[in-house]
A and B are shown apart, each in its own frame.
Chain A
C-alpha cells in the first residue's frame, strides 16, 4: 500500500505519478468523473507517462501517440497501443489516498480501481 496524497491535493481532472518502489513500475493516479483510478504510468505502447495524458471521462489519452486507455480496465480502446496497462486498487483512509500495486491482473478481468468508499 502506497500513500499518494490527501484527497484535497488531487482535485477533479488532475493526475499524479507515484513511484512505487523498485519492485513495481511507477503508477499514475487520476481523479476524474468523481472517482480515483490508478494504472501503470508507462504507456503499453512506448515510453510515455500516462499521468501526463489528457483526461476525458474515464479515459486517458497518451501524451505521445494518443492511444486511449480505459481507466477502469486498463484496456486500450484504440491504436497504436494494443496491450492493456495494469490497473491498481485505490482506497481512501481518513482523507488520505492510497494505491495498492497489483501484482498481476488478468486481461479482460478488470480490477476496479475505485471502490465505492473511495469516491470522494
Chain B
C-alpha cells in the first residue's frame, strides 16, 4: 500500500469523479484535489445529444438534473474542487502540476482523467458551426436550434452525429447527415449491422449522404451552406461537426509519460509511473495476452475504470486489471441501440430475435468459430442484458 499525502485528479467528469469516489471508498483519507477546466461540477454527457436538445422548458444555468453528484456526496468526498482551472503541465520529477496562471500544485499521486475533445475539420470559423462535447456546447447548440433554424447539416454519422441528427429531426428541423465513408459505423458494428443502423436515419426523416466529404463552408460571418466534395452545396442554418474525438493529452507533453493516441498504461490503468494512473476516454490500456492496446470512448468504461485505477494507485501496482466487457448504448430516432462485446472484422452475425427488416427491433449475436464475441440489440433491452451477462462470463476467442 502506498501512502499519499495528496492525490490530484485532473479532469472533473465521469471517470475522474469515479476515481475520486473509489479512492475514498478504499479508505484514502489524505488530501484529494480535483482540477477541472470546465466551470461546472461533474455532469453526465450522454443526454447532451439526446433529451437535453429536445427537452421542453429552460434547462437553466449549470448541470441541473445532469449533475453526477449531490451536495451530500460532495461533502462526503471531502475534495478540494479547482473548477474553471486548467492543468497546463505535469512535472513528474518534481511532483507538481502546473495550473493556469502559473500556480503549481504539489502532489504525489495523479489521476489523469482529461477525457477527449472533438476533432475539427480545416474549415473557416463561422457563426452557426458547432461541435458537441460539453454542457456549454450543448446549451449553445440547443439555443441555435430554437432560434429559427430550419436546415441543419450534421457532418459525420458516428454515434454523436446520428444522435444530434435524430434530436434535430424530433424538433421538426430539416436534417442532412454527411458521411465521408461509404457507410457509417462499419468499424464498430460491421457492415451488415451498420447498414441497419444507417437505415434509422431515413426512418426518422433525416437524409443520410454517404461517400462524400466536405469541401468547405459557404457564408461570411454566418454559415449559409456546406460544400461537398462531389460539388453539391447543402443550404444550412446550423452545422454540427461530429467527426470523432481525440484524447486530451496536450498538457502531458514533456511529462515523460508515453502518449500514443491516449495515455499509455497497463491493463490496470497504471502508467509507467506507479503513482500516475489514467482513466476514461483519455486512457489507452494494454490488453493482456495481446500486443494490442485499447482506448474506449464509452460511459461505462469511464465509470468502471475509475474504481479499478483507484485501487491500483493505492496498491502501488496493478493488483486488479480492468476486464469489463465493452458496452455502449445510443438513442436514435426513437430506437435504443445497445452493443456489448469485442467484435473483430470478419465475425459473422446471426439474428436471434426479431427482424431487422421490419423495423420493430431485434437482437443479433456476433460469432467467430462458434463462440459469441459480441451482441447488438435494438429495442430489446431485456434479452440484450441476458446476452451481455452471458458474454461477460463466457470465454473469449484467444487474443481478444
Contact = CB atoms under 8 A, between A and B. Distances in A.
A56 B51 CA distance: 30
Interface string B349-386: 00000000000000000000000000000000110111
A54 B386 CA distance: 7
Contacts of A66: 300
Interface in A44-90: 46-49, 52-54, 61, 63-66, 79-80, 82
A105 to B, nearest CB: 19
B299 A82 contact: no
Interface residues of A, number: 15
A42 to B, nearest CB: 12
B47 interface: yes
Nearest to B14: A80
B303 A79 contact: yes
B363 to A, nearest CB: 13
B73 A54 contact: no
A80 B386 CA distance: 20
Interface in B3-55: 18, 21, 44, 46-47, 51
A64 B51 contact: no
A63 B381 contact: yes
Nearest to A79: B303
B329 A64 contact: yes
A54 B389 contact: yes
Contacts of A80: 68, 303
A5 B191 CA distance: 43
- The prevalent SS among residues of A at the interface is loop
A26 to B, nearest CB: 15
B61 interface: no
Given A54-B386, A64-B329, A82-B73, A48 B381 contact: yes
A45 B46 CA distance: 12
A30 to B, nearest CB: 12
Given A52-B381, A64-B329, A47 B73 contact: no
B70 interface: yes
Given A65-B299, A82-B73, A54 B47 contact: no
Nearest to B383: A52
Given A46-B47, A82-B70, A65 B300 contact: yes
B386 to A, nearest CB: 7
A46 B52 CA distance: 12
27 contacts: A46-B44, A46-B46, A46-B47, A48-B381, A49-B381, A52-B381, A53-B381, A53-B382, A53-B385, A54-B382, A54-B385, A54-B386, A54-B389, A61-B385, A63-B381, A63-B382, A63-B384, A63-B385, A64-B329, A64-B381, A65-B300, A66-B300, A79-B21, A79-B303, A80-B68, A80-B303, A82-B70
Interface of B: 18, 21, 44, 46-47, 51, 68, 70, 73, 299-300, 303, 329, 338, 381-382, 384-386, 389
